[in-house]
Structure 1
């Protein structure tokens, strides 16, 4: 039987799995969100600073990408073979699309937070980026 080593490095996939469960990527216990999409400033369990991680437009992009790829074939098939009037079909598909977006968005944001937390993207300053760029050029 194997035991987990407490100081073992956390993999990217482990951080993503923790955040998809809407838990802190560092400890896996504290809450990630205090509302629908509002992330906590710091973990209530381990005090990890999560408020500095900004997912920005990534979750919305991923949500639209997934929803569009699922709804596009449904739209094509439904408009050709559905006995429903077009206006009713449009209302049904728009409702389905909105429900999908509202369901996927928190998980997409959680995944992006996990990736950004693991890559320590929130800790890099513009000055450090400029320094790294200069080192690569020289």
Structure 2
């Protein structure tokens, strides 16, 4: 599938390139001791600029998901899933991704997943697989 790649910035490059070393990098605030996503120059909780990228476990659970059957592009294989993943490292630390390498019909809320990466040029897209 052709993916539209993000523009790399000083704030987000660790997130998009962490897969090179098989690490899911999230921004972490030293002031309030919390991860946050999407990455940015200041913490959304306390407004501190004492933030830096830090690796997380990459393990999480599906909070919600949908299965798409519409081939929106000619190179898009259907069905595919879009899921909200909450990482085990911190309650509320979540983002949207795809769950791959499984039948989308077998997904369920609460299903454990783990990160994997798909490389496109100098970007590593964080995707998830069922963690058995």
* TM-score, normalised relative to structure 2: 0.24
Bigger share in strand: 2
Q: Please identify the structure whose Cα radius of gyration is greater.
A: 1
